[in-house]
Structure 1
Amino acid sequence: MTRKRILIVEDIPALALMYSGHLEKAGYEAVVVDTGAAVLRALAEGEAFSALLLDLQLPDIDGLELLRTNADLLAKQPVIVVTADGSLSRAIDAMRLGAYDFLVKPLAAKRLIAVVASAVEAGPTIRADAPVQPADPLAPAATPGGFVGNCGAMREVYRQIGCIARSRATVLITGESGTGKEVCADSIHRESGRRDGAFIAINCGAIPENLLESELFGHVKGSFTGAVSDRIGAVQAAHKGTLFLDEVCEMALPLQVKLLRFLQTGTVQRVGTSRVDDVDVRIVCATNRDPLREVAEGRFREDLYYRLAVVPVHMPPLRERGNDIAELAETFLQRFAREEGKQFAPLGQAQLAALMAYRWPGNVRELQNVLRRAAVLWDGPDLPLSALPTAPSLAAAPLAAAPLPVEAPRGAEAPQTDVAAAFRGMTLDAIERLVIARAIEDAAGSLPAAAKMLGVSASTLYRKRERWASSGDVA
């Protein structure tokens, strides 16, 4: 069998010799050149390579410039870039140009071989920022996965998914709660060469901090109270597949360090053991926060952010998706009607007008819950307007409904505030949501900090938020 040829572009002889030695032991044929000109010359002469290992610091040309000015370099074979630890931003730029992956010096032999093997299997990549091919603007876009809708913003999301799926690059999906970030992650997985592997989703905000490390990396029997047997974590469960880390900005700083180490080495160490295992996992993350703000305020590591946000994808809020609202509503109504054994006529003009006028603070998830509730509570065939929201929900402006009492300044006579009167007419559940919403706002969106202020556990707030979300009251 012919050995796969790997082109190594490295101008330091000792490093080139080390890389070629590792690859040849793994069964590859290594070809070494030391300049960008030599790379172009080899390709011009028709030499074929299964992958290219490119150092970004070359004596005659910058590695990034080489990629920018030679599109065929990426079209003919996957490119893996090598960079120093202090040049991660350059490696990120290379990934956005279309590089398959990047490695940070010094290179571990196992990591090098694993990335090369994965690149050879995947083949050439497509640039995530490649120009859109001209198409009929009225023709519907191919919608991946479980998406519905063809507005301009979503068409761009679909295009990005198609490009991203063929890459190994980590992806950071941003957007408000309920916009479909997990659907996007699942679509990337299904469109990729990893579709036959597992798609494992972990909500970093819903798992207590002291258990999240075990959930991610696994543990051995007896490593902590309750560890009654050996157990692999989500990372190993997603081997050859995709790991989706939802609400990644909720992750505690100490665990961020361990996640960063995993991303750098491609290895995991279970809680309670010194054994290190190699894994091959594609990482997709999501957050409803502004990650750069989290970095600026010290709640999220900057080096981890740059590792995760190689390819950013933003999910637009439902209120900005125009006619997609009507298409989604009709799709949900008919789906839930079938589940309930009922029949509903298509939505009329009055119903569509009400749906389009509403701001949808809970986005697609809220719309889905509204139509599910309507299919359960009404028999059809027509859906009454009373089944649809017509005014901003408590979630949209929770603090305007009943202002909380304010403490008087020192030295001033305290006003005689009737606290009970401030909440008159509200249910206990509504009051609880109001107080929790205020605490979360005061804690700058951090549920753990809000829980501390309220004297309850963070898991209590997460459970309440999930219960409200399932009922369609809160995003």
Structure 2
Amino acid sequence: MNTTHKPLVYVVEDSLSSGALYCSQLQKAGFDTQHFVDGYSALVAIKAKMPAVLVQDVCLPDISGLEVLKYVNKQEVAAKVIIITSNSSIDVAVDAMRLGGYDFIEKPFTSERLITSVTNAIKQQNQDLKTVEVEPTATSLDRINFIGESLSMHTVFRLLESAARSKASVFVTGESGTGKEVCALGLHQASAREQGPFIAINCAAIPAELFESEFFGHVKGAFSGALTDRKGAVEVANGGTLFLDEICEMQLNLQAKLLRFLQTGTFCKVGSSEVLQSDVRIVCATNRNPAEEVGEGRFREDLYYRLNVIPVVLPALRERGEDILLLAHHILKAKTTENNKQFENFSDEVKQTFMQYDWPGNIRELQNVIENIVVIYDGQSVQPDMLPSNFGHNVVNQAQYSPHNQMAQTNISTMASTPLRSQASTPEQSSAPNNIIQLWIVEKNAIEDAISQCGGNIPLAAAYLGISASTIYRKMKSWAEN
């Protein structure tokens, strides 16, 4: 490598031996380095020449590492800052990430972990500089298909823009259907990791006994049925982003293993003692309140703080005002093209209905409603009679069930208060006070009614219900087992 093209890395570490070691490791990897033993010396050097990357201990003998970070981020062209921390200062490291740090690594760490972090920081730095030079008014999220003009969404966009330039873990919360996976994919595509893989895992959909294998992989013979070696999501996502959906569904023993991986960047496959390494950016999501889960003892507090470096709260669709119509027009255009139809707009009555409805299923429900219309009807404008029956009314007060009610999207009180097929009650039902029907029977009756009205067409029934066909098949299997 030509010396003039070597990226410059400043190492700020008060330990002479540790600092010399980090510099030596980085120099072997092709970087130019300078070592500083205190924060003020580093600030003087930064004022003279800004490095590409600053690797600094969060605890310095003279000033706080956070002060150095704040100064760097105020400069027109700022270095990427990687924080070195110990277990005792993990909370300070999290604060540093929220202030704009790129990454943090915990002592003790391997040379591979250090070099990987610095290399990725250089990639992100180069991408940021390229964006400034080519499109000074554009943001890295302009390429991502985010739709929204509401104040709440502008707040989300600002958070995502900052998070995209970092490797910090992002914790996305929001109701089901608000677009948490779209948010995670957008972060990936707007980051320096966009050329790497984006791997999504639904923590609620994987059986607990298989989760460790899905996550870390296994070797042949590790357990019954392990006929070949298999890579896990952590290994496949190396160099990219790992999205953990419904993270609060993960069992506590698995949470401990995830925490260790996040701390060290290392893991072992099931059935193997070989230590492997993977560099991934973690984005996780839940529709629960994670702080409450921590308080109830269902989610590890240390893992929560490790993941919740950049919290992003996605607003419900009903809170987004005119965004409802913006999204509706976007979805209508996409579904019309997919199905080779002629729809162009919505009637004023439909627009008013959309704005008045509270959308319990959020964007996912809006997509289902519009796709339902586009598939079944023809025309240029969506009219009120094309909407699913009873759509837009207070379903809690409905006396009769219709599959168009988007059963899976309504809340539990709605389903429990709707007298579905009470004449088909089981012995368990008849003994309940006030003729209360068990919830699983309400759901079973609703799905069976929908399938019957659709002539046995399960995919079509699923579309009316606002759920996937696989969900129906899974529930039918569980009914048979009962």
The TM-score bracket by the shorter chain reads 0.7 to 0.9
Aligned to 2:33: 30
CA distance in 1, matches of 2:106, 2:220: 34
CA contact (8 A) 2:248 2:288 kept: yes
Matched, 1:78 2:80: yes
Q: Percent identity?
A: 44
Instruction: From 10, 26, 31, give the equivalent of 2:13.
Output: 10
- Aligned positions of 1:163-182 closer than 5 A: 163-182=162-181
Partner of 2:186: helix, strand, or coil?
helix
- Does structure 1 residue 42 correspond to structure 2 residue 41? no
Gaps of 5+ in 2: 129-136, 396-406, 420-429, 448-461, 473-482
1:398 counterpart residue number: 412
Could you say which residue in structure 1 is the equivalent of 2:256?
Answer: 257
CA contact (8 A) 2:331 2:370 kept: yes
Judge conservation of contact 1:174–1:288 (CA < 8 Å) in 2: yes
Aligned counterpart, 2:61? 59
Paired residue total: 420
1:22 Cα offset (Å): 2.7
**Which of 105, 108, 111 is matched with 2:110 structurally?**
108
AA matched with 1:243? L
1:58 aligns to what SS in structure 2? coil
Q: Which runs of 5+ in 1 are unaligned?
A: 127-134, 136-140, 406-415, 435-463
How far apart in 1 are the matches of 2:432 and 2:291?
42
* Alpha-carbon displacement from aligned partner over 1:41-67 (angstroms, at most 9, x marks no partner): 1123x2353321111221211111232
Equivalent-residue separation in structure 1 for 2:124 and 2:295 (angstroms): 36
| Partner in structure 1 of residue 24 of structure 2 | 21
Match of 1:76, SS? coil
Q: Compared with structure 1, are the counterparts of its residues 263 and 205 closer, same or farther at alpha carbon in structure 2 (3 Å cutoff)?
A: same
- Give, in angstroms, the shift of residue 252 of structure 1: 0.9
RMSD between aligned alpha carbons?
3.2
> What TM-score comes out, normalization by structure 2 length?
0.79
Assess if the C-alpha contact under 8 Å between 2:188 and 2:198 holds in 1: yes
Give the Cα–Cα distance (whole angstroms) in 2 for the partners of residues 427 and 26 of structure 1.
Answer: 59
| TM-score calculated relative to the size of structure 1 | 0.80
Q: In proportion to residue count, which structure has more helix?
A: 2
Tell whether the 8 Å contact from 1:143 to 1:158 is kept in structure 2 after alignment: no
Q: Which residue of 2 is the match for residue 439 of structure 1?
A: none
Which amino acid is the alignment partner of residue 8 of structure 1? Answer: V
Is residue 2:371 matched to residue 1:368? no
Cα separation, 2, equivalents of 1:310 and 1:331: 32
Question: Structure 1 residues 396 and 22 mapped into 2: Cα distance closer, same or farther (>3 Å)?
Answer: same
Distance 2:269 2:443 in 1: 43
1:342 to partner: Cα distance: 2.2
- In structure 2, the CA distance between the partners of 1:401 and 1:162, relative to structure 1 (3 Å rule), is closer
Partner of 1:438: none
User: Which residue of 1 is the match for residue 304 of structure 2?
Assistant: 305
Shift of the 99–367 alpha-carbon distance from structure 1 to 2, 3 Å rule, reads same
Contact kept, 8 Å, 2:26 with 2:33, in 1: the verdict is yes
Partner secondary structure for residue 292 of structure 1? helix
Contact 2:73 2:100 in 1 (8 A): no
What CA distance in whole angstroms lies between the structure 1 residues aligned with 2:52 and 2:115? Answer: 13
Q: How far apart are the structure 2 equivalents of 1:427 and 1:281?
A: 40
Quickly say closer, same or farther: Cα 1:214–1:385, change in 2 above 3 A: same
Q: What whole-Å deviation, never above 9, does each CA across 1:208-261 have from its counterpart, x for those lacking one?
A: 111111111111111112211111111111122111111111111111111111
Between the aligned partners of 1:404 and 1:378, the Cα distance in structure 2 is: 29
Cα distance 1:142–1:403, how it changes in 2: closer, same or farther (>3 A)? closer
Q: Deviations over 1:55-84 (max 9, x none)?
A: 122121111123234534694321111122
Cα offset, 1:337, TM superposition: 2.6
Counterpart residue identity of residue 158, structure 2 = R
Contact 2:43-2:68 within 8 A present in 1 as well: no
CA distance in 1, matches of 2:115, 2:14: 20
Change (3 A) 1:167 1:74: farther
Q: Hey, what does 2:188 align to over in structure 1?
A: 189
Check conservation: 2:347, 2:384, Cα contact below 8 A.
Answer: no
**Deviation of the 1:432 alpha carbon:** 6.0
State the distance in 1 between where 2:446 and 2:282 align.
34
Q: How far apart are the structure 2 equivalents of 1:267 and 1:432?
A: 48
